[in-house]
Chain A
Amino acid sequence: MASAPWWRNRRLLPGLIQALVGLAILVLIAFLVGNLVRNLTAAGLLLSWRWLAMPAGFDVSETLLPFNAELPYWRALLAGLVNTLRVVLLGLVGATALGTVIGTAAFSSNALLRRLARAYVELIRNVPLLLQLLFWYFVVFLSLPNADEAIQLPGLVLAKSGLYLGKTELLNGVWQGSLRLTLEFGALLTGLVIHSAAFIAEVVRGGVASVSGGQWEAARSLGLSHRQTLGRIVLPQALRVIVPGLNSQYISLAKNSSLAVACGYSDLYSVAETTLNQTGRAVEVVLVLLGAYLVIDLVISALMNCLNHRVQIQER
């Protein structure tokens, strides 16, 4: 046994310090929570969740889950959450596709394409998302013509009352389609996809650039075309660098969807805001909101970490 005193023990001491700091943090948290409860009690605002089961009394404009004003608040929040997930999922798919195309276009042999891709990224990522959403909704989508003068394309009708996809026909001045999207949803989705694609394009460009030039040359010397080289040689290797970067962009997209309220789409945030104002339960509603976005982001993160694990070089 070494005879060093305990305060010189290099195994004990760091552990002891960590335990003390950890304890201090716990005490601080306990103090803050206790103080919060005491002050909220004094103000008559102690956390209460009974309002969740009370009838909401307001309507939500478009829902995948059936909803009406007689259903309780938790159903309204759930309907909002589903609306958020809907725009986030479609947004992720769209932004990834567009971002990949634009990111790889930066390596095209076509100079015009390269410059267009560059201009796109610089323009989009330097304009605040909120402004872009307001632009898409108020300037572009709300300028669509009324039903009788709707823009008709094969399988797509664009009018002020909505975007109609699939089989479309005009019945008594009202368009019918197999799928109808509202302008609010359309504007939000367009804004999110276009905005996120610019950032994803940069991530993809960085990933492709990280693959050594030798890989391109080797592929070319084997007689592979530019497209084959990109698709079969470079992108699979670039994924290693791309996936961790994508993770942050996906999380940003999910959080940015809360700007939906700017273009009148009833997402979780919009429903929560109405709930907050009607119930006055500010702390509870904000906690629900924080929890929901945290869970969405953690799920995205976990899935992306799985994917990241898969695309890394498997060493034996």
Chain B
Amino acid sequence: MALRRRLLAALSLFTAATLAGCAGEDGGLQSPKMALIKARGQLVCGVQGTLPGFSSVDSNGRYRGLDVDICRAVAAALLGDPQKVEYRDLTPSERFAALASGEVDLLSRNTTLTLSRDAAGGNGLNFGPVVFYDGQGVMVPKARGITSIHDLRGKPICVETGTTSEMNLADRMRELQLPYTPLKFQTSDQSYAAYLQGRCAAATTDRSQLSAKRTGFPNPEAHVVLADVLSKEPLAPATVNADPLWSDAVRWIVYALMQAEEIGITQANVDAKVAMAKQDPNQADLRRFLGIDGELGRHLGLPVDFAAQAIRAVGNYSEIFERNVGAGSVLKLERGLNRPWSQGGLHYAPPFR
């Protein structure tokens, strides 16, 4: 039952805290989480699971999406094999307890980075780099004649419980002094089912998610995402606070994907680039990045060629974006803010040195 399952997740956190021994021995450069993942031979990754473009199961039973590719990149960098991932579908309200209790190693589940989720006094997570800059939007059926958020006065709006969408909706509607009825559901499937049945005048969540879900509707053309943007939604992978080495490793694996786009390394040319860099001792930056010189990977507790491994598995950020949510996908989202900084976007990897 829902209650039992949710309680279990929270209680396992409670129990873990109750029974955990007096940890805190100085382990040097040893990350307990990374040691566990290596011993297990598998990365357990928490995903949404039903969101086309970010994480969903394709007709062959394989997980696909931008969030999934982050999991695959981390598995490739750490274990040398992008297949060594076990995916767990999590609801918005399960996700943090699942991460805190150690049920998943990495949360790559279109999760918005906020202060209270990051802070030790709040959810106590550790966020990696933002992998998708999003904003909250509102979707309505075209036939209803709603053109802006102001037309939703007094109307029921479907929203998922345990999300930033729920809070932003409350804030914006209060700001605009618009009374409304929030209808809250635990999973996105329930929320969209109620919306499609006509119980809600609108559904609200991140704009990318609205576009993604719309592709699965019986008649996608009958629905439109309003121009109103309710909030900033930077989506980022997260790990627990307690293991900074693991968090650092995830952060730099994601940065490696962005750096690869910036310097033009792709899934197709990565091996050629490695061979070329090996020949040419003058390519200092490239040699460090690909692990030919220096020990950058070792500093993180990863193999020296972690960046090359990740790129070989999933390609650079641009390839991941276009394949899953961009031109090469059904979503056809614009890159917008998700371009690299050199092209006017927000993705910026710090130096690999």
Q: Which A residues lie at the B interface, using CB under 8 A?
A: 32-33, 35-36, 38-40, 42-45, 57-62, 69, 129-130, 134, 137-138, 142-143, 146, 160, 183-184, 255-256, 258-259, 261-262, 264, 266, 269-270, 273-274, 276-280, 282-283, 285-286, 289-290
- Please, how many angstroms separate the alpha-carbon atoms of A35 and B18 in the complex? 6
Q: Write the nearest CB–CB distance from B9 to chain A, whole angstroms.
A: 9
Q: Cβ of B194 < 8 Å from any Cβ of A?
A: yes
Closest to B171 in A: A57
Q: Write the nearest CB–CB distance from B180 to chain A, whole angstroms.
A: 8
Complex interface: chain B residues within 8 A of A256 (CB): 1
B123 touches A58 (CB 8 A): no
A142 touches B199 (CB 8 A): yes
A261 touches B161 (CB 8 A): yes
Work out how many contacts link A and B, with CB atoms closer than 8 A: 143
- Please, how many angstroms separate the alpha-carbon atoms of A196 and B4 in the complex? 19
User: How would residues 27 to 45 of chain B score, 1 for a CB under 8 Å from any chain A CB and 0 otherwise?
Assistant: 0000000000000000000
Q: Cβ of B176 < 8 Å from any Cβ of A?
A: no
Complex interface: chain A residues within 8 A of B170 (CB): 57-59, 69
User: What are 29 A-B contacts defined by CB distance under 8 Å?
Assistant: A44-B124, A57-B167, A57-B171, A58-B166, A58-B167, A59-B182, A61-B181, A69-B170, A130-B2, A134-B190, A138-B190, A138-B194, A142-B193, A142-B194, A160-B198, A184-B183, A258-B1, A259-B2, A261-B2, A261-B161, A266-B184, A270-B161, A270-B184, A274-B166, A274-B184, A276-B93, A280-B116, A282-B100, A286-B7
Name 7 extra pairs, CB < 8 A, besides A143-B197, A160-B197, A264-B194: A32-B19, A39-B17, A39-B18, A45-B124, A61-B184, A62-B181, A183-B199
- Please, how many angstroms separate the alpha-carbon atoms of A40 and B11 in the complex? 14
- Please, how many angstroms separate the alpha-carbon atoms of A282 and B170 in the complex? 22
Q: Write the nearest CB–CB distance from B168 to chain A, whole angstroms.
A: 10
- Please, how many angstroms separate the alpha-carbon atoms of A129 and B1 in the complex? 9
Q: Cβ of B20 < 8 Å from any Cβ of A?
A: yes
Complex interface: chain B residues within 8 A of A59 (CB): 170, 173, 180-182
B194 touches A32 (CB 8 A): no
Q: Cβ of B186 < 8 Å from any Cβ of A?
A: yes
Closest to A60 in B: B182
Q: Cβ of B120 < 8 Å from any Cβ of A?
A: yes
Q: Write the nearest CB–CB distance from A251 to chain B, whole angstroms.
A: 14
- Please, how many angstroms separate the alpha-carbon atoms of A287 and B19 in the complex? 18
**Given known contacts A44-B124, A261-B2, A264-B190, is B162 in contact with A277 (CB within 8 Å)?**
yes
- Please, how many angstroms separate the alpha-carbon atoms of A138 and B190 in the complex? 9
B18 touches A36 (CB 8 A): yes
- Please, how many angstroms separate the alpha-carbon atoms of A183 and B156 in the complex? 12
User: How would residues 273 to 304 of chain B score, 1 for a CB under 8 Å from any chain A CB and 0 otherwise?
Assistant: 00000000000000000000000000000000
Q: Which of B11, B96, B194 contacts A286 (CB 8 A)?
A: B11
Q: Write the nearest CB–CB distance from B92 to chain A, whole angstroms.
A: 7
Q: Which B residues lie at the A interface, using CB under 8 A?
A: 1-3, 6-7, 10-11, 13-14, 17-20, 22-24, 92-93, 96-97, 100, 116-117, 120-124, 156, 161-163, 166-167, 170-171, 173-174, 180-186, 190, 193-194, 197-199, 241-242
B10 touches A280 (CB 8 A): no
- Please, how many angstroms separate the alpha-carbon atoms of A273 and B96 in the complex? 12
Complex interface: chain A residues within 8 A of B121 (CB): 44, 280
B117 touches A280 (CB 8 A): yes
- Please, how many angstroms separate the alpha-carbon atoms of A280 and B6 in the complex? 14
B199 touches A35 (CB 8 A): no
Complex interface: chain B residues within 8 A of A259 (CB): 1-3
B124 touches A43 (CB 8 A): yes
A142 touches B97 (CB 8 A): no
Closest to B7 in A: A286
A264 touches B184 (CB 8 A): yes
B18 touches A32 (CB 8 A): yes
Q: Write the nearest CB–CB distance from A252 to chain B, whole angstroms.
A: 11
- Please, how many angstroms separate the alpha-carbon atoms of A119 and B171 in the complex? 50
Closest to A174 in B: B154
Closest to B93 in A: A273
A142 touches B197 (CB 8 A): yes
Q: Which of A60, A143, A160, A277 contacts B93 (CB 8 A)?
A: A277
Q: Write the nearest CB–CB distance from B184 to chain A, whole angstroms.
A: 6
Complex interface: chain B residues within 8 A of A62 (CB): 181
Q: Write the nearest CB–CB distance from A199 to chain B, whole angstroms.
A: 15
**Given known contacts A35-B20, A286-B7, is B184 in contact with A280 (CB within 8 Å)?**
no
- Please, how many angstroms separate the alpha-carbon atoms of A88 and B317 in the complex? 52
Q: Write the nearest CB–CB distance from B201 to chain A, whole angstroms.
A: 10
B242 touches A43 (CB 8 A): yes
Q: Which of B14, B123, B185 contacts A264 (CB 8 A)?
A: B185
- Please, how many angstroms separate the alpha-carbon atoms of A129 and B2 in the complex? 11
Q: Write the nearest CB–CB distance from B192 to chain A, whole angstroms.
A: 11
**Given known contacts A42-B24, A59-B170, A276-B93, is B7 in contact with A138 (CB within 8 Å)?**
no
Q: Write the nearest CB–CB distance from B96 to chain A, whole angstroms.
A: 7
A39 touches B183 (CB 8 A): no
Complex interface: chain A residues within 8 A of B162 (CB): 273-274, 276-277
Q: Write the nearest CB–CB distance from B106 to chain A, whole angstroms.
A: 19
Q: Write the nearest CB–CB distance from B232 to chain A, whole angstroms.
A: 17
B14 touches A286 (CB 8 A): yes
A283 touches B13 (CB 8 A): yes
**Given known contacts A269-B3, A277-B93, is B197 in contact with A138 (CB within 8 Å)?**
yes
B183 touches A142 (CB 8 A): no
Of the listed residues B173, B185, B199, the one surrounded by the most CB atoms of chain A closer than 10 A to its CB is: B199
**Given known contacts A32-B18, A282-B97, is B183 in contact with A262 (CB within 8 Å)?**
no
Closest to B125 in A: A280
B17 touches A130 (CB 8 A): no
- Please, how many angstroms separate the alpha-carbon atoms of A283 and B9 in the complex? 11
Q: Which of B14, B97, B194, B197 contacts A36 (CB 8 A)?
A: B14
- Please, how many angstroms separate the alpha-carbon atoms of A276 and B93 in the complex? 8
Q: Which 4 A-B pairs have the closest CB atoms?
A: A142-B197, A277-B162, A280-B123, A44-B120
